[in-house]
Structure 1
Amino acid sequence: MRKVTAGLFHSVDGVVQDPFNFQFDSFDEDLGKGLTKMINTVDTVVLGRVSYEEWAGYWPTASQDEGFAAFINPVEKFVASRTLTEPLEWENSHLIKGDVEQFVSELKTRDGGEIAVCGSISLVRQLLFAGVLDELTLMTHPVIAGSGRRLFEDGDPLNRLVLEDQFATSKGNVVTTYSVRKD
């Protein structure tokens, strides 16, 4: 069975929204190597509508970070949206029809590499709390962002996680990968 993963840039105070506002001076070679390792295992990406629209407007013509552009543009992408219609403009993008949790669960049973939920805070939360997400990686930058959307909110259901991996980078980023405890 394929694994569903999500990785989010994260501030010490828990902000995951718009990481470009706080990660610019702490992104380092070690973090880049970790992302490259992730890219090499993923052959399918799941996005929410907001992330899809932002990324589809940027990555097809991006001149920066050519390595990620070379990955994200041709990779198979599935988009969770109630308002977008097909055909989607971004290369190799398809709308998820029906229930997203059921779709991703079925996607896990198909042949292929890992499935990555990219960006898409609401979708990461939904799949985590539904038990569909297998791993969550938080790349915590040594910064207090002060404001912005956080991944977890008051009233979220209790979920037990298992620390699978952790490492610190040369600029003080701490990368932690958790799996969902299944008991």
Structure 2
Amino acid sequence: MRKIVLQMMTTLNGRLDDLAAWVHDVVDDQYREIDRIYSTFDTVLVGRTTYEEMAAYWPRALAEHAGTETNQVMAERMNTYRKLVFSRSGDNPLTEWADTEQVIVATDDELVTYLENLKRQPGKDIHPRRGTLSHAVPARRVVRKRSGESALRARERADAPRPDSFTDMLA
């Protein structure tokens, strides 16, 4: 059975917010390590906002040969992954991008059922990308492996208000 694996960048003290404030440059050996981890995935789970950010960057990065060789490997990977974009309603059209599917889940139960069925399909592991989805999926107990466990605990202790359900968080 496939796993849903949460992988994210964090500081040693567990900071997850505002990447631009603390990630100034990702050097090639860091990209190689990220790529090694990403090579174990073939599907990414995203919300619409994260999807639109990815769709604006990765196809262009590949076409324009932007960045280092390692960045190009990552661009190839992002462009060939299966991308599942979660929404409550599906009312907002998505930017066209290869191998993208919009998944409409109106309730937390529908989300859990969808993800449990997805894990039973053949393929590599599944990665929820940053954003709303990466914080909501672990709370629904469908993630079996976590990278950056202490950072997640720090996020759980944050004073930020928490919605009653994942689907309340979807745009």
User: What TM-score, normalized to structure 2?
Assistant: 0.72
Q: Which runs of 4+ in 1 moved over 4 A?
A: 83-88
Equivalent runs, 1:8-157 vs 2, <5 Å:
8-25=8-25, 27-62=26-61, 63-64=66-67, 65-82=71-88, 84=90, 85=92, 88-98=95-105, 99-120=110-131, 122-138=132-148, 151-154=155-158
CA distance in 2 between partners of 1:13 and 1:4 (Å): 24
Tell me the CA shift for residue 29 of structure 1.
Answer: 4.4
CA distance in 2 between partners of 1:12 and 1:53 (Å): 29
Query: Deviations for 1:105-160, whole angstroms, at most 9, x for unmatched residues?
Result: 1100001111111112x2122211111011221299xxxxxxxxx7334479xxxx
The answer to which structure has the higher helix fraction is 2
CA distance in 2 between partners of 1:31 and 1:135 (Å): 21
The answer to which structure has the higher strand fraction is 1
8 Å contact kept, 1:45–1:75: yes
8 Å contact kept, 2:88–2:104: no
Q: Size of the alignment, in residue pairs? A: 145
Tell me the CA shift for residue 30 of structure 1.
Answer: 4.2
The CA RMSD over aligned residues, in Å, is 2.7
Gaps (5+ residues) in structure 2? Answer: 161-171
What percent identity do the matched residue pairs reach?
24
Q: Secondary structure at the match of 1:8?
A: coil
CA distance in 2 between partners of 1:127 and 1:78 (Å): 14
8 Å contact kept, 1:9–1:16: yes
Query: Deviations for 1:47-87, whole angstroms, at most 9, x for unmatched residues?
Result: 12221111111111022221211100121110112354456
Gaps (5+ residues) in structure 1? Answer: 141-149, 157-183
